[in-house]
Amino acid sequence: MCGRFTLEPTAKFYERFQIENRLDRLVPRYNIAPGQQVPVVISRSPNRVLMMHWGLIPHWAKDPKVGYKMINARIETVAEKPSYRSSVKAKRCLIPASGFYEWHKSIRGKEPHFIGLKDEKLFGFAGLYDIWKNEKGEEVYSFTIITRPANKFMAKLHDRMPVILYPEHEAQWLNKNITDPNDALMFLEPTIDSRMFEYTVSALVNKPENDSPEIIKPIKRQ
């Protein structure tokens, strides 16, 4: 699964994701948690970046609180579940990230680990979004991150992991002309183990209000 991640935007953030517009404010985030607003990339000829709520609220939902249960979507069922079925056809997105966290049970308790890619300071999670309207008719954009069974590298920490798109597949994933779910999902390939790294971090990450560079510093196991 994916319940926390980081985004340290470099000077080439907009160029990296081929984004046309600019956000009013783009700052490093070291502990992004569900329910928070996050930069998300969508295709609108060319790509655009919008701030979206993490936790997908289906357009037909009566209560927006359902979003807290939809921070992740399993790749095996996104094309079938009513909550995601329409989004996988026409509302696919890219969630920029620089790393993510996973917790692993050990003799010392649940230890948080930071995971990233060795040669990529920025990468994109495959995601889905939807647009819900509140009682005032205001549009609320929200998203979910797609997960898949863990590769060998991640299996030592958890049985699932977020789908990290290969850069060469990002454009196809966002391509609005691809409406068949099977055609879109074929671009969500497993991450090669050798691309990844991980290390243990402090329990500071356990509290969403902690959001500083200290969180991603490695700590030595005792």
Q: Where are the beta strands (DSSP E) in the chain?
A: 5-7, 29-32, 37-43, 47-54, 72-74, 92-97, 99-106, 109-117, 123-133, 139-149, 160-162, 164-165, 196-200
Task: Classify 203 as helix, strand or coil.
Answer: helix
Catalytic option among 2, 93, 111, 198? 2
Residue 50 near residue 24, CB atoms below 8 Å: no
Query: Has 93 been annotated as catalytic?
Result: no
Contact 2, 183 (CB under 8 A): no
CA separation for the pair 70, 114 (Å, rounded)? 22
Phi and psi at residue 137, in whole multiples of 5°? 85, 10
Contact criterion met (CB below 8 Å) for 160 and 149: yes
Alpha helices in the chain (DSSP H): 13-16, 82-90, 152-155, 167-174, 181-185
Strands 164-165 and 92-97: unpaired
User: CA-to-CA distance for 190 and 93, rounded, in angstroms?
Assistant: 18
Q: Which residue is catalytic, options 102, 111, 170, 198?
A: 102
Q: Is 2 annotated in the active site?
A: yes
What 3-state class would DSSP assign to 108? coil
List active site positions. 2, 102
